[in-house]
Structure 1
Amino acid sequence: MKGRRLIQRYGTFLLAFCLTACQVKRPKVVLPDAKMENVLYDYHIAKAMGEEVPYNESYKRVLYVESVFKKHGITQADFDTTMAWYARNPEVLAKVYEKVNQRLKVERDGINHLIALRDNKPDESLPGDSIDVWIWQHIYRLTGMPLNNRITFKLPSDTNFHDRDILHWSVRFRFNSGTPDSIHAPLMAMQIQYEKNDTVIGACKRVSSAGIETIGLNADTLGKIKEVRGFIYYPMQPSLRSLVVDSISLMRYHATDSLAVAPKDTLGRADDSLPKQEKAKQPIEQKPMEIKEVVTPVAPGREGARPRPRLEKLDKISSQPLQKR
């Protein structure tokens, strides 16, 4: 009994020692996981807000980040020191960021839902073929000024997007005063990003005259669509006052055909499917040699002599003996 109790005590001691040794030592200046999660959540929101401010107001980006540090009672040095420690312990950082990403996703979904309610539009596109998935306004007026010289859109895919979908973006351009030159012509571009290696395909065109312009994109082998994005850029031209774009649509068509797979070339031979060893065992087919008679002309003065036939071998060698005449 004493020996068993002694073993149990040593086992408990060893277990406690292993658990203590496996724990990562964290300096006191490093923020705990729960607080670091809250800081990173607010930090990334502040960085996203800073990306949306105009260039002449870039100072606000610094103010947004400083407001996060002030909210949580830390300094820039505390944040940098903590991030350096987490970088040396990626397994701990991965767990913190997993929770941060979940919170950001919930926040994004809530914002998208509020936008859909405001615009009286569904959260996702309608199912079916030949659907207009454009969810923004259908008419814009661009003046070419720095704050009014472009239209951008970004449309994430949903469950109603299928592999090999075809997307056609159509826009009607109307110039209020003449047509632009080649330098100041509007630029229209669209891209599709796929989940497979984040592959991107795209197309763009210069609009040199009024009318409807369309960009069509699709891919047969890239799989699921991740995001569709595009823009219209209108550079300023003093001689033209404004550009109106309307009748905007982004049509999505499901592919109804199947991909054709080219058959292997068999060259019309029935034995191509046999392994090389089996082909070696197959007997070689031998065809009899064709024989034809060639009559030699009779020399003058020997008209009574019987012409002697001469054998001539054609094409292929025969393994069978010749028949004597």
Structure 2
Amino acid sequence: MRNKHLIRSYTALCWFLLAVFAVSCKPSIPSEYIQPSEMEDILYDYHLAMAMANRDGYTDVRQKAFKLAVMKKHDVSEEKFDKSLQYYMRHTEKLHDIYIDLSKRLENEARSQGASETELAQYGDIASKGDTTDIWRGSRSLILSPYAPVDRETFEIKADSSFHKGDRLLLSFDSQFIIQDGMRDAVIVMAVTYSNDSTITQYQHITSDSHQTMTIDAGDSLRIKNIRGYFLMLKGQQSTTTFKMLTLSNIHLVRMHIRRQASVQASDSLKNSDPIRTIGGDPVNPQAVPDQPADPQTRTPADAMRERGIPDSPRNDE
């Protein structure tokens, strides 16, 4: 019996040690890199600083000065920040989690400074109701780098019964680059297929930190069948050790039912239309046509001739 008790104790100890070992082997951020909570704080100040730096026009010198000010505030060297950012770019799921929280912090900060809902998100809080609906179903924030497979993000939306003829689409988002060296260059492509299988494609470069919009409107006679598109960050000519990153936030794809002005009634259109012309005659204003006799049977041939401007025939007795 004692041996059985020892065996059970030994087995329980083995399971405990195995659990500790499993927890200790769980992937974590290496100590030589900035940890997620601190990285979030640095990136928060970094984005605010870059917005200030670009407010009066972007220059390399101005951006560098603001970046160094952020590094000094957090007592982090520029080299450690760059290496840490490269690490997070190789582990995009960790960087994405940071930016989800970061996006909320930046939005709350904007609200505390008095920004309106329109300035914050351009239809960001619109639900599926009425004539204007945000139909974006993907993540509101994306992080792209020039290196596959995180250099692009595709999307597709199939139309349902809520789509109508004449719908207009408005894609909007905010872009911000974090670049060590090289050009800022990304593209957004959106292709809309309509009920007659025709397709309208819009293509736009993203080259700055700003609010971006793209509109597609095919008129009032076609119904949308399918929407496809992608965001793509271009690599260009650069060293593989140079990091480039693009963050896209506040992504919205708004479908708007455009109410076309109803046509005027026929009676009103006649008032503004060109005069009616008789065959071979002068223009006639409909409202200027003389009143006809109340009883057509009382009209004589002579009356009809006079109305047409034909003189009476001379009588035989004259």
TM-score (norm 1): 0.40
TM-score (norm 2): 0.40
